Amino acid sequence: MELIYYRLLSEGYIYIIAIFSFLLGGLFYISSIGRKKFKFQANILFLLGFALITVYILKAWLSTGQPPFKTMFQSLVFLVWNISLIYFVLEKTENLYFLGGFVSFFNLFVLVFSMVFTDLVKINLPPSLRSAWFIPHVVLYFAGYSFLFIGFLMSVLYFPFPKRRYLGEAHWSGQMWKDYDIFSYRAILYGFMFLTLGLSLGAIWAKGAWGAFWSWDPKENWALITWFVYLIYLHMRYVKGWKGKKSAILSIIGFAVIIMTYVGVNYLPSAEGALHAYQ
């Protein structure tokens, strides 16, 4: 806790206000469940948190002269930015307002959790990462992770609410139908598409930088495992007709594998000194 306190002080007021924006936004989202009251306030606070994280990333980028994606701390902040953007777009296009509280509190958790990682003021990227492929590769992957996180949330919600139900046109959530199975599937489909593009781009980049499409780096291997898990999810859904509980379980397993790929791999002995391991 002491480390988190001093890190909060060192990151400045922008970061601190962003944390409180997501906290208050989450409370307003939760307070509006079952009614439309506080929806506007929740949106404003969520957007404020997103805007502040955007400013924070841009400041870090301008101050170092390189994209702030290299350390674990930087990547977690960028993950919050991606999840916030994708969720808010889905809220407005798909009326997924009921997820606002979950996303806000997850962002709050990630921003506080990131404080435990020591971050250096500037880490010079190795020549292989100073490439035009670096930014699109990272952006595609984090967009994929964000969609898959939304799919994971809806898979969890499927268990207490498994039945497809008509809600009507005037429902507080804006949804006419409650169907967490189909919502989860659509989010995972988009996530898998971004994951595939990110993986393919990374392989092309590796070929140009290191002379091989694949180097069997621990993080590369787990990224491939993640891709296969979601490929199995889509295969079983399309070919075997898996829906409902079976699909939800596989979605949750897939997100657990993402956590291993993203965070857990960094603590494997084989990942020490690996290019893809976060510092």
Burial 142-161 (b: 16+ CB within 10 A, else e): bbbbbbbbbbbbbbbbbeee
Distance CA 87, CA 190 (A): 13
Query: Taking the mean position of all CA atoms in its chain, how far away is CA 198?
Result: 14
93, 120 in Cβ contact below 8 A? no
Q: In tens digits, what is the pLDDT along the chain, a chain of 279 residues? A: 554 455 554 557 888 899 999 999 999 988 877 666 788 898 999 999 999 999 999 988 888 777 888 788 888 999 999 999 999 998 888 777 888 889 999 999 999 988 877 555 455 555 556 667 778 888 999 999 999 999 999 999 889 877 766 555 555 455 555 678 888 999 999 999 999 999 988 888 777 766 666 677 888 888 899 999 999 999 999 888 888 889 999 999 999 999 998 887 876 655 555 555 545
**What values do phi and psi take at 244, rounded to 5?**
65, -125
Distance CA 102, CA 123 (A): 33
Q: Look up the pTM and report it.
A: 0.86
